[in-house]
Amino acid sequence: MSSLGFVTGIAPRDRTLVVIFLRGGADGLTLVAPVADDAYHRARPKIGIRESAFKLDDHFALNPGLGILKNVYDQGHLAIVNGCGYPKPNRSHFRSMEIWQTANVKEPQPQGWLGHYLDHVARGTAVAAGAAPAAGTAKAAAAERSEEDRVMAATLPQGVDVSVVVLPAHDPADEIAGTMVANALQVRGYRVTVMSVTALASEMVEMVEREKADVVVVSALPPAAVTHSRYLCKRLHAKYPDIETVVGLWTWKGDMEKAKDRVACARSVRMAGSLCEAMEAIHQAVQPILMKRTEQKAK
């Protein structure tokens, strides 16, 4: 997802990964039929596919309705993995869906498998397939994953209202990345408003006031992330010098402290390079607010 580079941290902006998850709507033996398998035809005498003009090899063929994919396959741009599964299949529909979405057969987790993996790639903590981590590394990676899960699972106390306004720094990719942050916050109890990238900087500042924002998230992708986020922060802090601000410089490869020196117009700015870092920064920013509101509620 190059335009959402804060997820991967490595892909160039001219490449895009699209993941389509067909939630219960795809039958693998109908999409890619084992037309040469007698057992398949015995098991499906009426609904099995017997003929297809789009054979992949001597055994498998694409569904007749998927002919458009045959050229893609022949050009080497499409790979098909058959027989996917996991040990000891769970017979609960809901738990099975959860396992497929998270790739965790042991226990529920807040992140999906793809987002979890790519976030580790962005931070350099992913282990290549088949590679055995060195002694101590696996333990450290497990501890880091545990810490990441803690950050991503943190929710607001029930009945406490915290408002977050997300400001895209420059282009539609910034807005999409900001929307992903907003989605992660909303399911954890935050009240979130995402501004359109077409809004003027003055309109964004007005929205901060209108929504009584406790935290502002500035979303910015390369190549001009620092320049655009600095401009937006300057406009924001001219009116609200003390507002808690998290600047997401997604996929930033340079020194984050130096970037902060260039971006920050106020002491209340926190920097983040990934979704997990942004969530942690927001969590830290709202702690004084939560304490104050919890005390007020107790009175």
Angle at 268 between CA 225 and CA 290, to 5 degrees: 120
For 218, residues 6+ apart whose C-beta sits below 8 A from its C-beta are 167, 169, 229, 232, 233, 236, 245, 246, 247, 248
Identify the CA nearest to 281 among candidates 236, 258, 234, 248: 248
217: in domain: yes
Pair (249, 269) in one structural domain: yes
Residue with the larger pLDDT of the pair 110 and 233: 233
89: in domain: no
39: in domain: yes
Residue type at position 227: T
Task: With a cut of 50, say whether residue 128 has pLDDT above it.
Answer: no
C-beta separation of 62 from 56 below 8 A: yes
C-beta separation of 50 from 41 below 8 A: yes
158: in domain: no
Task: With a cut of 80, say whether residue 260 has pLDDT above it.
Answer: yes
Residue 15: φ, ψ to 5°: -120, 140
CA 216 to chain centre: 19
CATH number for 293: 3.40.50.280
Distance, first Cα to last Cα, the chain: 48
C-beta separation of 1 from 11 below 8 A: yes
Pair (287, 215) in one structural domain: yes
* pLDDT value of position 89: 83
Pair (188, 287) in one structural domain: yes
Which of 84, 105, 132 corresponds to the end of one domain? Answer: 84
C-beta separation of 275 from 249 below 8 A: no
CA 108 to chain centre: 17
3-state SS, residue 238: helix
Domain count, the chain: 3
For 262, residues 6+ apart whose C-beta sits below 8 A from its C-beta are 226, 230
State the residue for tokens 């002694």.
135
Pair (137, 167) in one structural domain: no
Separation between Cα atoms, residue 251 and residue 277, nearest integer Å: 12
pLDDT band at 3 (very low <50, low <70, confident <90, very high): very low
Pair (179, 287) in one structural domain: yes
Separation between Cα atoms, residue 28 and residue 9, nearest integer Å: 33
Pair (270, 193) in one structural domain: yes
Residue with the larger pLDDT of the pair 205 and 297: 205
pLDDT band at 195 (very low <50, low <70, confident <90, very high): very high
Which of 43, 62, 84 corresponds to the end of one domain? Answer: 84
User: Which residues on adjacent β-strands are paired with residue 33?
Assistant: 61
What's the pLDDT tens digit per position in 5-39?
A: 444 444 445 567 778 777 766 788 999 999 999 99
Pair (215, 293) in one structural domain: yes
| Mean of pLDDT over the chain | 80
Pair (184, 148) in one structural domain: no
* pLDDT value of position 126: 56
Average pLDDT of the residues in 107-116: 77
Separation between Cα atoms, residue 217 and residue 269, nearest integer Å: 10
91: in domain: no
For residue 79, give its domain range.
1-84
139: in domain: yes
Separation between Cα atoms, residue 137 and residue 125, nearest integer Å: 9
Pair (251, 280) in one structural domain: yes
Cite the DSSP H helix spans in 53-171.
68-74, 93-102, 113-123, 137-153
pLDDT band at 213 (very low <50, low <70, confident <90, very high): very high
Pair (37, 105) in one structural domain: no
Pair (169, 80) in one structural domain: no
pTM for this entry: 0.55
Task: With a cut of 80, say whether residue 68 has pLDDT above it.
Answer: yes
For 207, residues 6+ apart whose C-beta sits below 8 A from its C-beta are 165, 193, 195, 199, 213
C-beta separation of 156 from 190 below 8 A: yes
Pair (113, 78) in one structural domain: no
236: in domain: yes
Which of 153, 179, 201 corresponds to the end of one domain? Answer: 153
95: tokens are: 């738990």
Separation between Cα atoms, residue 10 and residue 231, nearest integer Å: 26
